[in-house]
A and B are shown apart, each in its own frame.
Chain A
Amino acid sequence: MERVKIASMITIRKNQERGHADHGWLNTYHTFSFASYHDPAHMGFRSLRVLNDDRVAAGRGFGAHAHRDMEILTYVLDGSLVHKDSMGEKRTFGPNTVQAMSAGTGVVHSEFNASETEPVRFLQIWIEPAVRETEPSYQQIPFDPEEKHGRLRLLAAPKEAANGHAAALYQDAYVYAAVLGSGESFKQALAPGRHAWVQVARGDLAVNGQALAEGDGAAISGESNLCFAGAGPHGSEFLLFDLP
């Protein structure tokens, strides 16, 4: 019997090709369609629907607004955010923390730069849930920055795999963060039928030999092994999404 070979494919989404809006208080880059940036060719990748790279000025932020049926992850790179929601949560968090809001049947929340003097930069990620109309929930999990150095630190995963150590998702998706110094590398397997998205938060990275710079993303399908190598003068911090 002839086996069907799935072509391996890495498609790079360059930093400067992303949607961009500068509102003064908010300078934001959209890897996928979001708000006033709409590109039918970039509506997401698998269940990854939104990947925004936001910079919010001191003291500013997003006023009360609503979400439904979406798994929303926030990963702060510099500065800190204060989050408030209709579930009664009021929390401040900074880098080396994964914040997850499972919107389910509906939440109203606000998020502001916690500082009156410094800007905040963060990645905001929306993953479509496999189940709808779930009870809304909030999770905030800090970790030791050493745990992402030279290896993958799990940020979010399906509940059974998250095990209190990472944010639990209503989707068979695994989200990791890692920091690699220049010249450092590691490998990660990608199971058959799984797809990966790599997003470079800072610095320079090579994925299976392909060079990625800050703000670049890469969609990867049909590969069984991912080799990550820190490049450039300072290496890289990046996120990896392992998706069904």
Chain B
Amino acid sequence: MTDINVLVVFHSRTGRTEKLALTAAVGAVQAKANIRLRWLREAADDAAIESAPEWKENRQRMEKEYIAPREVDAAWADAIIIGTSGSPPELQDYLASLGVLGSAGKLEGKVGAALSSASIRASAAHEKNGALLAALAQLGFIVVPPGSQSEALERARLQGRRITEVARALKGAGLAG
């Protein structure tokens, strides 16, 4: 079986998107992928974080448990899954850093997907993800849309599986970079 590397990059304040990212990673592992989980460190100022105890606690914990995505992670990955709630500036910064790699042709043939954090209807999730999926397509990713499962965690798990299977099929066919 072709070895597939899946990078899961997420932005999470309360831990909800982190849970979705972990679940997507489990789905990828179930499809026999190697995984890396990376956290987009928040750029918010300290005063704002200090004022929200839950945010502060989660941030301190995640700071300990995860490292930020590095250029080598994107280079290593056959597929990248991005999980965010909305479109925070940290995501824009990360997409810009991917843009640099994309311009150098280093994202050619890689597969991209987006997780939606809220437990919302699949159709609404698609809408929210539209902009991110379009941005990934622009960077040169082959974009895999999420499935239609109504439950967010199950959707994330199946998406992890699906992105792995798509990346494996592409690689097997010699279409991946």
Contact = CB atoms under 8 A, between A and B. Distances in A.
A68 B164 CA distance: 15
Greatest chain B CB density within 10 A among A61, A67, A110, A112 is at A110
Contact of B29 (A59, A61, A106): A106
Does more than half of chain A's interface fall in helix, strand or loop, or is it mixed? strand
A66 B32 CA distance: 10
Does more than half of chain B's interface fall in helix, strand or loop, or is it mixed? helix
B26 A64 contact: no
Interface string B8-42: 00000000000000110110011010110100000
Given A66-B35, A105-B30, A106-B30, A86 B25 contact: yes
A183 B139 CA distance: 70
B65 A110 contact: yes
A218 interface: no
A172 B159 CA distance: 36
A107 interface: yes
Nearest to B33: A66
Contacts of B35: 65-66, 108
A164 interface: no
Nearest to A104: B30
A68 to B, nearest CB: 6
Contacts of B67: 63
B65 A108 contact: no
B94 interface: no
A64 B65 contact: yes
A243 B29 CA distance: 28
Contacts of B29: 66-68, 105-108
B21 to A, nearest CB: 9
Contacts of A86: 22-23, 25-26
B38 to A, nearest CB: 10
Contacts of B22: 64, 86, 108
B66 interface: yes
B68 to A, nearest CB: 12
Given A86-B25, A108-B22, A108-B25, 13 more contacts: A63-B65, A63-B67, A64-B22, A64-B66, A65-B35, A66-B29, A68-B29, A86-B23, A106-B26, A106-B30, A107-B26, A107-B29, A112-B65
